Structure 1
Amino acid sequence: MGLTSKTVLALAMASAVILFAATVRLWPRLARPGVAAVSGRGGLLLATQVTLLAAVGLMANNSFLFYGSWADLLGREQAPGVVTDHVAGAAASRHVVRVGTEHVPGGSRSTVGGRIDKVVVAGRRSGIRSPAYVYLPPEYFRPAYARRKFPAVVVLTGYPGTAENLLTGLQYPRTALGQVEAGRAQPMILVMLRPTVAPPRDTECVDIKGGPQTETFLSEDLPQAVSEAYRVGKRARNWGIIGNSTGGYCALKIGLHHPGRFAASAGLSAYYRAAEDLTTGDLFHGSRRARERADLLWSLDHLPQPGSSFLVTTSREGEGNYWGTRQFVGKVKAPAQVSSIVLDSGGHNFNTWRREIPSALVWMSTRLSES
């Protein structure tokens, strides 16, 4: 029986109830002194607590889909994601300030492993200032590439994640380096940040009337600032955007609505309509048009389809976006192109995304050009 099976949850809940009832019934008999009685009381309490915690944990996992299978929970689910194509039915810029540098683990020199710059990006139109990390591949520092401009990919975390998660937990720079060394991808600059540019508010990457202009920052300010500070092209074919969870929704949204800036967009475990809850506040201020535009499935049905490429990921067991992803794939029409990664099992967690990121970066590499 699978981890997310209702039968497993029912058994765990039943076990907790039975053990609780047994504890109440047997407690008077075990209320006398002696090693056996004390051991019995301790055993019943321990067993009841374990089954209760297991039931609560299973309920939480079924609600939020952190893990899709027992192998996923134990970290044994390591099969990489496979992309399926679908037929379409630093430093010199006033707006990027470098505040620190580090190397990719295992690469002691910039020409070997590349370099990671910690920067602060100031949006000239949005007025937003956001920290970010910029990964520069080793080729960026080699004489043979001195005059070359590189493609760039904006990488977004989920909410309320930190940009550091993209370096450590999801290992984007190390993975990108490995794919280039294996000859599967071209060198790309990665611009890594969280979409929570006005913390703690989750803006869902929209421009909020009288509030944070997150969409403007990500779609206009960020690419322009990075292009001024680093050797990055300024055309749409030079830029891609990828993210997980909330970042995945944002990546698809930005790519769908700004094809003149981004040629390729990838949403890992993305959802397809802006969330509206206590963390977001009032995003649309009663504007039906703004709410509809933030619904990606509505946009595909009602707005002109761009000549861009999209990648979406899900799993048959463990993800809550499976049917939404199928709808998204079905609604993309030419001239747009869509691809997908569908895992057999994988929850809404770092292990799943680490399985998808290598293939997603290779896919992104084939959609971008260096100049």
Structure 2
Amino acid sequence: MGLTSNLVVTFAVIAAVLFFAATVWLWPRLAGRTPWAVVGRVGTLLVTQFSVFCAIGLFANQTFGFYGSWADLLGTEDTPGVVVDHDTPAHKRVKVISTRKVNVPGGDKARLGGRIEKITVQGPTSKIASPAYVYLPPQYFTQPDRRFPAAVVLTGYPGTAEALINGLRYPQTAHKLVKQGKMQPMVLVMLRPTVAPPRDTECVDVPRGPQTETFFTKDLPLAISAYYRIGKGAKHWGVVGNSTGGYCALKMAMRHPEAFSAGAGLSPSYKAPIDRTTGDLFGGSKQLERENNLMWRLDHKPAPPVSLLVTSSKKGEHNYKDTLKFIDKVKRLNEAGAPTRISSILLDSGGHNFNTWRREVSGTLTWLGNRLETPATPS
């Protein structure tokens, strides 16, 4: 049973309730002063508290996606990705593992609700392979000759891709917005930025380490557009993420306008942290570190022809002042004739959590859908 499965969480909650009831029932029978009675009281309290702690922890992990598996939780997941063959054709670098319905009205039928496919993607240039989920809108099945724009959707760190479906509800929100006529149908490629677990690479090509940025900006779009009916140019691709994924989204759009024409960061940071989860991301190179600092890029690099969206909250978010600073820098560049465009969602209050990001997903998808071009239908 998986760490984030409903069965595990349900079992933990039931166990906590039963242990609590047993403690209430046994307590009068353990009221004596004998050593066995004292040990019994201490034991029942410890067991009950431990079961309640596990139930709350498992529920919180399922909700917020801190750890994706038991190995991830215990720190035993340390494989840095799968080496793949360089001569694999692009359209064979995607392997569908399973499919699932979208939790919307009519979701049992792909022509009404679309479909979610769990896949693995091979990256011959980065030598990384990663699992992902692909949301295909209903129009993908009702209009077989049509090609679609796509967006890479990233979690935070450590995060789970399932949280993008169950927690932030990206497919369900996209389905609803298309039905309301607020956005065009889009394919969503959902995954976590941790493609070399358990290391937090911050979507950096680490010197002598995981080439994460190359995987997301070169290998992933090429493989996905070769397998699915998706446009190949940057004008057909966007990237969005929350927290660490938000930093990745902004950075990859700014550093690789040849791959993405739009990037949205929900509660993003604006530079990569250096801590025990990241290790040395830049191989001691201060220049590489600066080039991955988004504020520094705005001051020292040519402004890229991309559209950017940032979100924050006046109360509850630590990045609010930096977000205002980032917006101001881009606005000044734009006023000077630079091609970078900036938009924002600024809430009065909201913490660094799923509840806040759910309030921003609808506006973000609407914004993204209006900035990506629909690929031309092949003649």
For residue 251 of structure 2, what is the aligned residue in structure 1?
253
Which residue of 356, 359, 363 corresponds with 1:355?
Answer: 359
- How far, CA to CA, are the matches of 1:268 and 1:321 in structure 2? 10
For residue 116 of structure 2, what is the aligned residue in structure 1?
116
Which residue of 219, 225, 229 corresponds with 2:227?
Answer: 229
Cα deviations by residue, 1:292-334 (Å, 9 ceiling, x for unpaired): 0110000111111011100000000000000110111111122
Which residue of 323, 327, 330 corresponds with 1:329?
Answer: 327
Task: Output the aligned Cα RMSD.
Answer: 1.2
**Correspondence 1:342 to 2:346:** yes
303-312 vs 325-334, greater mean Cα deviation: 325-334
For residue 242 of structure 2, what is the aligned residue in structure 1?
244
CA contact 2:204–2:212 (8 Å) conserved in 1:
yes
- How far, CA to CA, are the matches of 2:123 and 2:300 in structure 1? 30
- How far, CA to CA, are the matches of 1:328 and 1:113 in structure 2? 38
Matched residues, number = 280
- Report how far residue 92 of structure 1 moved: 8.7
For residue 369 of structure 1, what is the aligned residue in structure 2?
373
- How far, CA to CA, are the matches of 1:193 and 1:246 in structure 2? 12
- Report how far residue 146 of structure 1 moved: 1.8
- How far, CA to CA, are the matches of 1:259 and 1:113 in structure 2? 32
- How far, CA to CA, are the matches of 2:326 and 2:111 in structure 1? 41
- Report how far residue 232 of structure 1 moved: 0.4
Q: How does 1:169-318 map to 2 (within 5 A)?
A: 169-318=167-316
CA contact 2:90–2:222 (8 Å) conserved in 1:
no
Cα deviations by residue, 1:196-221 (Å, 9 ceiling, x for unpaired): 00000000100011100000000110
- How far, CA to CA, are the matches of 2:259 and 2:197 in structure 1? 25
TM-score, scaled to structure 1: 0.74
Give the SS at the match of 1:93: helix
Q: Unpaired runs of 5+ in structure 2?
A: 1-63, 65-88
For residue 131 of structure 2, what is the aligned residue in structure 1?
131
- How far, CA to CA, are the matches of 1:97 and 1:200 in structure 2? 23
The one-letter code of the counterpart of 2:166 is: T
The one-letter code of the counterpart of 1:345 is: S
For residue 104 of structure 1, what is the aligned residue in structure 2?
102
Cα deviations by residue, 1:265-312 (Å, 9 ceiling, x for unpaired): 000000001010000011111101110011000011111101110000
For residue 26 of structure 2, what is the aligned residue in structure 1?
none
Q: Unpaired runs of 5+ in structure 1?
A: 1-65, 67-90
- How far, CA to CA, are the matches of 2:287 and 2:224 in structure 1? 31
Q: Percent identity?
A: 58
CA 1:356–1:286 in 2, change beyond 3 Å: closer, same or farther?
same
Cα deviations by residue, 1:219-267 (Å, 9 ceiling, x for unpaired): 1100000000100001111000000000000000000000111010000
- How far, CA to CA, are the matches of 2:234 and 2:155 in structure 1? 22
Q: How does 1:152-171 map to 2 (within 5 A)?
A: 152-171=150-169
CA 1:124–1:96 in 2, change beyond 3 Å: closer, same or farther?
same
The one-letter code of the counterpart of 1:363 is: W
- How far, CA to CA, are the matches of 1:124 and 1:103 in structure 2? 30
Cα deviations by residue, 1:87-142 (Å, 9 ceiling, x for unpaired): xxxx9921100000011013110000100000000001001000000000000000
- How far, CA to CA, are the matches of 2:254 and 2:196 in structure 1? 23
Give the SS at the match of 2:206: coil
- How far, CA to CA, are the matches of 1:125 and 1:300 in structure 2? 28
- Report how far residue 181 of structure 1 moved: 0.5
- How far, CA to CA, are the matches of 1:234 and 1:305 in structure 2? 23
CA contact 1:148–1:370 (8 Å) conserved in 2:
no
- How far, CA to CA, are the matches of 2:123 and 2:325 in structure 1? 34
